[in-house]
Amino acid sequence: MHKLLAAVMTVLLLLPGCSTRHDTDAAPQDPLPSWNDTAARRSIVDFVQRVTTPGGPDFVPDVDRIAAFDNDGTLWPEAPVPFQVAFALDEVTERARTDPQLAADPMVQAATNGDFAQLLAGDRDAGLMHVLGLTHTGMTTDQFDKQVGDWLATAEHPRFGRPYDQLTYQPQQELLKYLRANGFRTYIVSGGGADFMRVFSDRVYGIPPEQVVGSTATVRFEMRDGKPVLIKTADYVFVDDKAGKPAGIHEFIARRPILAVGNSDGDQAMLEYTTIANPRPSLGVLIHHTDAEREYAYDANPPASGQLVTALQEAPTAGWTVVDMKNDWNTVFATP
Amino acid sequence: MHKLLAAVMTVLLLLPGCSTRHDTDAAPQDPLPSWNDTAARRSIVDFVQRVTTPGGPDFVPDVDRIAAFDNDGTLWPEAPVPFQVAFALDEVTERARTDPQLAADPMVQAATNGDFAQLLAGDRDAGLMHVLGLTHTGMTTDQFDKQVGDWLATAEHPRFGRPYDQLTYQPQQELLKYLRANGFRTYIVSGGGADFMRVFSDRVYGIPPEQVVGSTATVRFEMRDGKPVLIKTADYVFVDDKAGKPAGIHEFIARRPILAVGNSDGDQAMLEYTTIANPRPSLGVLIHHTDAEREYAYDANPPASGQLVTALQEAPTAGWTVVDMKNDWNTVFATP
């Protein structure tokens, strides 16, 4: 009988889809090699282990393992300007070369010249909003997707000399995979445009478009030459930032996250919504940009966006993990 | 050796998680027993078989098998009034019993008396919108969820004498399961309120809240007594109906469906967006209410909502399947 059992076990091990206890005995590779063995890493790993331990006091079922990540400054840089702003500036500059009317627009000229003082002057950044309007409305969603894709394929970051979508943070890529391997669903919850991020989120982060919550304006359904199209408009703008993030989470995810990762005061409400008085175990994480050499160092005075003051003040009392980019990450950028 | 092999096979068949070819040899049960064997049923089954046949010319990968279902009149009735309206009328009536100020409101009195002429008078159904505002704004999302849940647990449909959530259409319940078993993700895309439907969508339809696209207004994030809450407001109302449906699909699902099922002109744009010039194989389905005896019979003149005129006219040229409720369904309501 022992001989037969051994034969059966051998067959089982050779059959795909059949697993035995032996499969899991091998020591697993470190899922977070770019994270130094510091308190920040330990708090994250400890949290994941607690919520995934069946029968444990902090166990959370798969369906409620929702992780919400900010994008700009959290998954990739937001300096010298947020990458979507770089897209808008490059795009009007490119278009102005063949469009005299556009070339005569003073704000387009300011964009071409990188004159931010001019772009940010006036009420509610009037010039920048004008340029964003020129590059984000009036076209079909398919045309917009193509414009973003073409830009990503050709533009390079001014400091790092790489395509923008090759500047994601390696430790965060590992964290996203680690969470998904532990039954989490990973969402982006960003002030960036949903349509913009959805062009690359699946390819770059493994996050499918329907798991990207961002700023939106409504699209207009039309039939053109007998074909349905969606036209991007500036109507009903929803800004998925600050108090807008919990609102966006409610509307799009419809579940309260148990993990939220951000890097600025714009993420504070999301972290509060995730961690304060949540009936489930929860964790808030703030990425602190402390590495001028490898990336950027800022909090109160960021290069463009991403101010981190009040959220950093709240972190100790709220029990949020603050990641010191310089000391907690041994690698910053993912290898292309 | 044959003896050993037989022993191994026996062990395999007894082991959970290990399957052999034998498992699939049994004739499968009919997944759509409530659908008569008519052209409507055959068009749906044929479509599902085509898009799921690996290597076939119409194969569509799982990730793009998106099915969008209207709710009112498509998955459950919308007469004598849409069920969410019934909720609003019952709710203000109930609250007015202990709230003299509310009881003095002429529109609340109209609601209590079922005086629809009064409720629908004025610009944009002023009275009804007032009652919807009273019952859908000002409370936290948790409070609203509880109110809807309590109502579902106690209220009964005036004609059928059953709780509203026990009036779903059995053929549609079978269709939802059949599609999911074939790798589709099933979404609701309805003019009804997203917050309202998300209270019961998972329990009643097996559709999780994040797969419910509906009308929305923004929520306001607040800290109350040190706890985060979301307050329902009437700001930024998005109506997920008519041309709003393709817009809602773009914003929430971020993929073009290959199957859309509706029952009214409010679903026409969704069916057009799904089926016209879609690079993937696609199918549009219209439920035609033809069964006064078992449910209701209407198209041009519905009891309350759900007018079906222009979509029905477009159906033949667009190639949409029209389901004749009386002749194509042998059962209407799911058994509680």
Residues A56 and A63: beta-carbon distance below 8 Å: no
**Residue of A241, A267, A260 lying closest to A187 (CA atoms):** A260
Confidence of residue A122 (pLDDT cuts 50, 70, 90): confident
pLDDT(B120) > 70 = yes
pLDDT(B15) > 80 = no
**Residue of A183, A205, A202 lying closest to A69 (CA atoms):** A205
Mean pLDDT of the A221-238 span: 95
Q: How far is A11 from chain B (nearest CA, A)?
A: 8
Residue B175 DSSP one-character state? H
**Residue of A67, A82, A176 lying closest to A125 (CA atoms):** A82
Question: Which position has the higher pLDDT, B6 or B123?
Answer: B123
Predicted confidence (pLDDT) per residue in A41-69, tens digit:
999 999 999 999 999 999 999 999 999 99
The answer to whether B246 contacts A230, with C-beta atoms less than 8 Å apart, is: yes
Tell me the residues of chain B between 6 and 25 that have a Cβ less than 8 Å away from chain A: 7-8, 11-12, 15, 17-19
Residues A252 and B252: beta-carbon distance below 8 Å: yes
Q: Whole-model pTM?
A: 0.91
Predicted confidence (pLDDT) per residue in B41-85, tens digit:
999 999 999 999 999 999 999 999 999 999 999 999 999 999 999
The answer to whether A141 contacts B246, with C-beta atoms less than 8 Å apart, is: no
Residues B259 and B179: beta-carbon distance below 8 Å: yes
Predicted confidence (pLDDT) per residue in B143-164, tens digit:
999 999 999 999 999 999 999 9
pLDDT(A31) > 70 = yes
B310 chain-A contacts, CB cut-off 8 A: none
The CA distance from A126 to A111, in Å, is 12
Confidence of residue B117 (pLDDT cuts 50, 70, 90): confident
A245 chain-B contacts, CB cut-off 8 A: 221
B12 chain-A contacts, CB cut-off 8 A: 11-12, 15, 18
Predicted confidence (pLDDT) per residue in B190-249, tens digit:
999 999 999 999 999 999 999 999 999 999 999 999 999 999 999 989 999 999 999 999
Judge whether B212 is closer than 8 Å to chain A, CB to CB.
yes
Give me the pLDDT at residue A116, please.
Answer: 87
Strands B259-262 and B283-290 turn out to be parallel
The CA distance from A321 to A44, in Å, is 8
Confidence of residue B24 (pLDDT cuts 50, 70, 90): low
The answer to whether A246 contacts B141, with C-beta atoms less than 8 Å apart, is: no
Mean pLDDT of the A183-210 span: 98
Count A/B contacts: CB-CB distance under 8 Å.
117
Among A210, A219, A252, the residue with its CB nearest the CB of B247 is: A219
Stretch among A166-180, B5-19, B50-64, B202-216 having the lowest mean pLDDT = B5-19
pLDDT(B3) > 70 = no
The answer to whether B247 contacts A221, with C-beta atoms less than 8 Å apart, is: yes
As for the ipTM of the complex, it is: 0.90
Contacts of B219 (CB under 8 A, 6+ apart): A246, A247, A250, A251, B141, B230, B231, B232, B233
List, in sequence order, every residue forming a beta bridge with A8; answer none if it has no partner: none
A252 chain-B contacts, CB cut-off 8 A: 210, 252
List, in sequence order, every residue forming a beta bridge with B219; answer none if it has no partner: B232
**Whole-angstrom Cα Rg for chain B:** 23
**Residue of B193, B223, B220 lying closest to B85 (CA atoms):** B193
Give me the pLDDT at residue A12, please.
Answer: 42
Confidence of residue B122 (pLDDT cuts 50, 70, 90): confident
Mean pLDDT of the B3-22 span: 44
Q: How far is B138 from chain A (nearest CA, A)?
A: 15
Confidence of residue A24 (pLDDT cuts 50, 70, 90): low
Both structure tokens of B325: 């409720």
Mean pLDDT of the A176-191 span: 98
Greatest C-alpha distance within chain B:
88
Among B208, B236, B254, the residue with its CB nearest the CB of A236 is: B236
**Residue of B78, B52, B158, B48 lying closest to B114 (CA atoms):** B158
Both structure tokens of A132: 């964003």
A269 chain-B contacts, CB cut-off 8 A: 221, 228
Nearest CA in chain B to A193: B251
pLDDT(A22) > 50 = no
Among B63, B209, B227, the residue with its CB nearest the CB of A276 is: B227
Give me the pLDDT at residue B125, please.
Answer: 75
The CA distance from A171 to A326, in Å, is 12
Give me the pLDDT at residue A100, please.
Answer: 96
Q: Which helix (H) or strand (E) holds B260?
A: strand B259-262
Q: How far is A294 from chain B (nearest CA, A)?
A: 35
Mean pLDDT of the A96-121 span: 93
pLDDT(A138) > 70 = yes
Confidence of residue A321 (pLDDT cuts 50, 70, 90): very high
Residue B311 DSSP one-character state? H
pLDDT(B9) > 50 = no
The CA distance from A243 to B230, in Å, is 10
Mean pLDDT of the A131-138 span: 96
A194 chain-B contacts, CB cut-off 8 A: 251, 254
Judge whether A111 is closer than 8 Å to chain B, CB to CB.
no
Reduced to 3 states (helix: H, G, I; strand: E, B; else coil), residue A84 is helix
**Residue of B192, B173, B94 lying closest to B135 (CA atoms):** B94
Nearest CA in chain A to B276: A227
Tell me the residues of chain B between 228 and 247 that have a Cβ less than 8 Å away from chain A: 228, 230, 236, 238, 243-247
Predicted confidence (pLDDT) per residue in A239-281, tens digit:
999 999 999 999 999 999 999 999 999 999 999 999 999 999 9
Q: How far is B236 from chain A (nearest CA, A)?
A: 7
A277 chain-B contacts, CB cut-off 8 A: 226-228
The mean of the pLDDT values for chain B is 92
Give me the pLDDT at residue A117, please.
Answer: 87
Mean pLDDT of the A87-97 span: 96
Q: How far is A209 from chain B (nearest CA, A)?
A: 6
The CA distance from A196 to A86, in Å, is 12
The CA distance from B54 to B60, in Å, is 8
Q: What are phi and psi of A289, to 5 degrees?
A: -80, 100
A212 chain-B contacts, CB cut-off 8 A: 254
Among B218, B227, B255, the residue with its CB nearest the CB of A210 is: B255
DSSP B220-249: EEEEETTEEEEEE-SSS-B--STTHHHHHI
Strands B227-232 and B219-224 turn out to be antiparallel
The answer to whether B238 contacts A246, with C-beta atoms less than 8 Å apart, is: no
Among B17, B236, B253, the residue with its CB nearest the CB of A238 is: B236
> CB atoms < 10 A from the CB of B66, how many?
24
pLDDT(A1) > 90 = no
**Whole-angstrom Cα Rg for chain A:** 23
Mean pLDDT of the A161-180 span: 98
Judge whether B220 is closer than 8 Å to chain A, CB to CB.
yes
Give me the pLDDT at residue A7, please.
Answer: 47
Mean pLDDT of the A226-247 span: 96
The answer to whether B276 contacts A12, with C-beta atoms less than 8 Å apart, is: no
The answer to whether A227 contacts B272, with C-beta atoms less than 8 Å apart, is: no
B193 chain-A contacts, CB cut-off 8 A: none
**Residue of B260, B267, B259, B249 lying closest to B305 (CA atoms):** B267
Give me the pLDDT at residue A121, please.
Answer: 85
Nearest CA in chain B to A239: B218
Give me the pLDDT at residue A125, please.
Answer: 75
Q: In terms of residues, how long is chain B? A: 336
Nearest CA in chain B to A4: B4
Q: Which of B218, B220, B227, B256 to mutate to test the interface with A (most CBs of A within 10 A)?
A: B218
Terminal Cα-to-Cα distance of chain A (whole angstroms): 54
Residues B259 and B321: beta-carbon distance below 8 Å: no
The CA distance from B61 to B65, in Å, is 7
The answer to whether A243 contacts B221, with C-beta atoms less than 8 Å apart, is: yes
Among B227, B253, B272, the residue with its CB nearest the CB of A228 is: B272
Among B244, B252, B255, the residue with its CB nearest the CB of A252 is: B252
Query: ω into residue A80 within 30 of 0, thus cis?
Result: yes
pLDDT(B2) > 70 = no
